[in-house]
Structure 1
Amino acid sequence: MIVITAPTGNIGRRLLPLLLESAPARGEDLRVVVRDPARLPDSVRDRVEVVVGSHGDAEVVDRAFEGADAVFWLVPPDSAKTPADAYSTFTRPAAKALAAHGVGHVVGVSALGRGTPLARSAGLVTASLAMDDVIADTGVAYRALANPSFYENLLEEAGSIREKGVFVDVVEADRKAPFVSVADIAAVAAGLLLDRSWSGNGSVPVLGPQDLSPDDVARIMSEQLGRSVRYERRPFAELRATLVGYGLNEEFVDGIVEMKQAKDRGLDAGVARTPDTATPTTFEQWCAEVLKPAVLG
């Protein structure tokens, strides 16, 4: 039995079809934990066991992890909470349930930076790495998917790209860093969940095929969209004021800003890309298949 949390999110909805392709043939059942089962596609809903509720709830994870051999763990960031509450506090009921039910393997979505000085004060990244420790301390075999920023974050800029030919962020325009598609993260997760020959605790970097700077991103967007796109750097103080203005928890906002500051200092650039850490989806491919329809309709 494999349990998938957040099955309707960016990664989970790409992970589920991959598992449905292979798990039944291996004699493995799938169980999902979801607040609203109506958000599951009909083709999926009839092929998985559904546990309704939040995977931050002790009673829900106790039911969900009973009889489970492996769990895909993803914490949906909650901007109404502090970073510690959003990650570690949310995860503690699940950690107790993992131990109580003797779950063998967990694959979690986390971040790059473990073991680096920058990760000690990197906001949401620091909180995510602390969440990893909560899971690892249960004694379960654990693999944390150590991710950089996602291509999909740029979908939040689709309107600005369409109307102004501009996307914004807070890092230096020439700061190169790994960049990855959520589909590739899902593929790595599926491989680990299906082949559980691994043991102990560790991180699995998921680095995409190449490092890109915001200027590189603007150039590739321009080529793929057939229109000029430029990068505009905004001050950290402006980012903070904007997010606070949206009504987000101020400690969570500080966590976002600290994460961005750490990335601007090279947080994501400390892991070498190898055949084992690289993933296949290029930014050019993602722009053509995902960003272009979102921007040009």
Structure 2
Amino acid sequence: MIVVTTPTGNIGRQVLANLLRDGESVRVIVRDPTRLPGQVRDRVEVVRGSHGDAGVVNEAFDGAAAVFWLVPPDPKAEDLKATYLEFTQPACDAFVRHQVQRVVGVSALGRGTAPALAGNAGLVSLSLAMDDLIAATGVSYRSLALPSFMENMLRQAAAIRAQGMFFLPLDADRRLPSCATRDIAAVASRLLADVSWSGLGSVPVLGPEDLSGDDMARIMSDVFDRPIRFQQVTEEQFRATLAGQGQSAAMIEAMVDMMRAKNSGLDNAEPRTPLSTAPTTFRQWCEEVLRPAVLG
């Protein structure tokens, strides 16, 4: 039995679909089962509630061989340590109690980089602390070490449509890896179904290339057949944008710290290898996902 958390989220739903396609037995934890498509609900066991709740995870992990773990985003969180670490602690206790064999968790790049970067990188630092918490249980664990997601660009679909621009607090020539969530889900579902691994490890998913904001703008201009421009914004402008979206002060500072670390090379420290190079290019993703979203 494989347990999937966040089965209606962007990554979790794709992990779930992959596992069901491959004939795996799956149990999901979900607050609102009606958000699952009917054909999915009919094929999975459902435990209703939050996977930050001790009673819920103890019910869900009973008899489970593997767990897909993802802390859900909370843009209004005021205490981010609670959001990541206190949320994860009941699951850690349940991993031990129910002798779960393998856990695959969504995390971030940054392990092994300079302490000045990884130690003050906002959401990245919290993700790495979550990894340490899970690893300390003794469960076999694979943390997916991830750069920024291509899907983050969907938040800027309106600006791309109306202004032909997108905005980030990054140097225009800072080349960084990024990955599509479909590739994250493919790696996660493969690891969850694979009974051969044990111990602790990090699995980078880097996408096929490092791109700067200017590089992405050129690709998007080709895909949309119109000029698209990247505009670097200051940290204060970035803060104002996040505040306008209703994000909490704590989340805003965590995002700013993360982007500052990325702009200083946090995501460039992981060497690219054939195993860490995921297949979906930014151009392919723009053609298949971003262009339909922008054009409506």
TM-score range, shorter chain: over 0.9
* Unaligned stretches of 5+ residues in structure 2: none
Note the 1:1-297 alignment, pairs <5 A. Answer: 1-24=1-24, 29-79=25-75, 80-117=77-114, 118-297=117-296
Task: Give the 3-state SS of the residue equivalent to 2:107 in structure 1.
Answer: strand
* TM-score normalised by structure 2 residue count: 0.97
SS of equivalent to 1:295: helix
Cα distance change, pair 288–149 in 1 and its aligned pair in 2 (3 A): same
Give distance in 1, aligned partners of 2:124 and 2:145: 10
- Contact preservation (8 Å) 1:107, 1:145: yes
Tell me the alpha carbon deviations over residues 131-162 of structure 1, each in whole angstroms, 9 at most, x when there is no partner: 01111111000000000000100000001000
Q: What is the percent sequence identity of the aligned residues?
A: 59
Matches of 1:125 and 1:133, distance apart in 2: 13
**Aligned equivalents of 1:81 and 1:95: distance in 2?**
23
1:17 offset after TM fit, Å? 1.3
Report the alpha carbon displacement of residue 88 of structure 1 after superposing the two structures with TM: 0.9
Kindly provide the CA deviation profile for residues 175-213 of structure 1, in whole angstroms up to 9, marking residues without a partner as x. 001110000000000110111211111110000011111
- The one-letter code of the counterpart of 1:32 is V
Structure 1 gap segments, 5+ residues each: none
Q: Which amino acid aligns with 1:242?
A: T
Q: 1:266-294: CA deviations, max 9, x gaps? A: 10001111111001011111111101101
Count how many residue pairs are aligned between Structure 1 and Structure 2.
293
With over 3 angstroms needed to count, the CA separation of the structure-2 counterparts of 1:21 and 1:245, relative to structure 1, is: closer
SS of the residue 2:160 aligns to: helix
Q: CA deviation at 1:245?
A: 4.7
Deviations 1:196-242 (A, max 9, x none): 21111111000001111111110000101111100011110121233
Aligned Cα RMSD in Å?
A: 1.0
Write the distance in 1 (CA, Å) between the matches of 2:254 and 2:170: 16
SS in 2 for 1:276: coil
Distance of 1:280 and 1:35 partners within structure 2: 33
Answer yes or no: is the 8 Å Cα contact 1:83–1:123 preserved in 2: no
Output the CA distance in 2 between the equivalents of 1:250 and 1:44: 37
CA displacement 1:47-67 (0-9 Å, x = unmatched)? 000011110111111111011
Contact persistence 1:77–1:87 (CA under 8 A): no
Task: Determine the C-alpha separation between the residues in 2 that align with 1:196 and 1:88.
Answer: 27
Deviation at 1:165, TM superposition (A): 0.1
CA distance in 1, matches of 2:185, 2:148: 14
- Deviations for 1:67-116, whole angstroms, at most 9, x for unmatched residues? 10000000012232322111111100110111110101000000000121
Q: CA deviation at 1:252?
A: 2.1
1:244–1:161 Cα change, 3 Å = closer
User: Offset of 1:23 from its aligned partner?
Assistant: 3.4
Q: Is the 8 A contact 1:23 1:194 kept in 2?
A: no
Secondary structure of residue in 2 paired with 1:121: coil
8 A Cα contact 1:88 1:131, kept in partner:
yes
Q: Is the 8 A contact 1:82 1:249 kept in 2?
A: no
CA distance in 2 between counterparts of 1:141 and 1:38 reads 32
